[in-house]
């Protein structure tokens, strides 16, 4: 199976300019969430997958569809329901009477960007069907492996666990998501802007223009790999992850995969910010979205005010930020 080839080499300056254009275009549909959209874009530029967890009606699905349009990716949507089967995602072999043999019929996983809508409304068995695709970029059905074209990204939406009719995502599934992001309610002015645009548009749907194509997106992802992260900043990422493993309120801390995710997202955030090197503020900007879903609060504290997000904020406040001398002057 052929894969999309990068369209030449894109440096960090060009990648940053394109990132700004992508965010500007997405903001034509999603109002007042620039920082959250920037984090979503960081997840894509880092080559990962993003989990959007919030209450219904706050723009999660709209944001995912808008990114698919602006990134020029083939887009498919899978609506996760309690009766969804793994084969409904991966595809299955069906008998072709004309050729008298079984042929593979691809499922919605074979796309550039998959919107896994309300992913936690389906049982863990079906959620696990995504694991191989998200980690290995391939699908195995009845012993035969099918490689997914690049780029391949999953933008999943989820309602809060406390919401009726939801299943808790397994830790292994959560760990495959590079970031977890919540939008929250808009301000009154932002909500008025949403209403105003809808009345002017006189249509529920909104079509955005593609800013890049799949080949350009791959080149932008390659530019992220050229971003420099000094040893002092890299050790800062390690210290933040290490602090979660010894925190008094946590049962489960961040794994080395989480440390790698933190440094990679910080590099992507540097690109979005127009720099070819990482500063501690980049790490701080992405840390809550990268780390909070990878830790677990002790069961005896579930009824208290302790939360994963609060713990990450406490760790960010307590772990010393590396000085310019420690990270090397630029």
Please, are residues 234 and 283 in contact by the beta-carbon 8 Å criterion? no
Q: Which of 73, 76, 72, 69 is nearest to 28 (CA)?
A: 69
Range from 132-141, 151-160, 181-190, 197-206 carrying the lowest mean pLDDT: 197-206
- 227-321: what fold? Helicase, Ruva Protein; domain 3 (1.10.8)
What pLDDT does residue 6 have?
44
The pLDDT of residue 91 = 87
Task: Identify the CA nearest to 47 among candidates 238, 179, 190, 221.
Answer: 221
Contact 194, 186 (CB under 8 A): yes
Q: Which of 228, 212, 232, 215 is nearest to 70 (CA)?
A: 212
Q: Are 115 and 155 in contact (CB under 8 A)?
A: yes
Give domain limits for the chain: 15-212, 227-321
Average confidence (pLDDT) over 39-47? 95
Cβ partners under 8 Å of residue 86, min gap 6: 125, 126, 128, 129
> What whole-number distance in Å separates Cα of residue 274 and Cα of residue 17?
8
In this predicted structure, what is the pLDDT of residue 296?
A: 84
**Residue 194's pLDDT band (cuts 50, 70, 90):** confident
Question: Would you state the pLDDT for residue 277?
Answer: 94
Which pTM does this prediction carry?
Answer: 0.87
Mean pLDDT, to the nearest integer, of 125-145? 84
Q: How many CB atoms lie within 10 A of CB 108?
A: 17
The CATH fold assigned to 15-212 is Rossmann fold (3.40.50)
């Amino acid at each position: 199976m052929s894969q999309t080839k990068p369209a030449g080499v894109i440096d960090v300056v060009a990648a940053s300019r394109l990132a700004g254009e992508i965010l500007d275009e997405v903001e034509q549909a999603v109002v007042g969430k620039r920082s959250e959209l920037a984090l979503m874009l960081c997840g894509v530029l880092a080559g990962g997958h993003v989990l959007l967890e919030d209450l219904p009606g706050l723009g999660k699905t709209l944001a995912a569809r808008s990114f698919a349009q602006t990134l020029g990716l083939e887009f498919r949507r899978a609506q996760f329901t309690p009766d969804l089967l793994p084969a409904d995602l991966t595809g299955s072999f069906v008998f072709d009477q004309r050729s008298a043999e079984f042929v593979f019929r691809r499922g919605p996983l074979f796309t550039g960007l998959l919107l896994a809508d309300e992913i936690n409304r389906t049982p863990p068995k079906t959620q696990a069907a995504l694991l191989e695709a998200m980690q290995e970029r391939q699908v195995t059905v009845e012993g035969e492996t099918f490689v997914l074209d690049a780029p391949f990204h999953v933008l999943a939406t989820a309602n809060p666990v406390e919401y009726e009719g939801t299943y808790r995502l397994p830790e292994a599934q959560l760990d495959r998501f590079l970031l977890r992001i919540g939008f929250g309610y808009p301000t009154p002015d932002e909500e008025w802007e949403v209403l105003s645009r809808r009345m002017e548009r006189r249509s529920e749907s909104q079509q955005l223009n593609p800013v890049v194509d799949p080949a350009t997106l791959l080149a932008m992802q390659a530019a992220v790999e050229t971003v420099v992260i000094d040893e002092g900043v890299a050790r800062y990422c390690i210290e933040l992850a290490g602090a979660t493993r010894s925190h008094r309120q946590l049962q489960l801390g961040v794994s080395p995969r989480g440390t790698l995710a933190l440094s990679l997202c910080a590099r992507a955030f540097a690109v979005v910010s127009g720099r070819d090197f990482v500063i501690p503020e980049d790490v701080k900007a992405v840390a809550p979205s990268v780390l909070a879903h990878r830790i677990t609060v002790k069961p005896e504290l579930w009824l208290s005010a302790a939360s994963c997000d609060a713990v990450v904020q406490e760790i960010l406040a307590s772990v010393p930020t590396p000085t310019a001398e420690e990270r090397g002057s630029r």
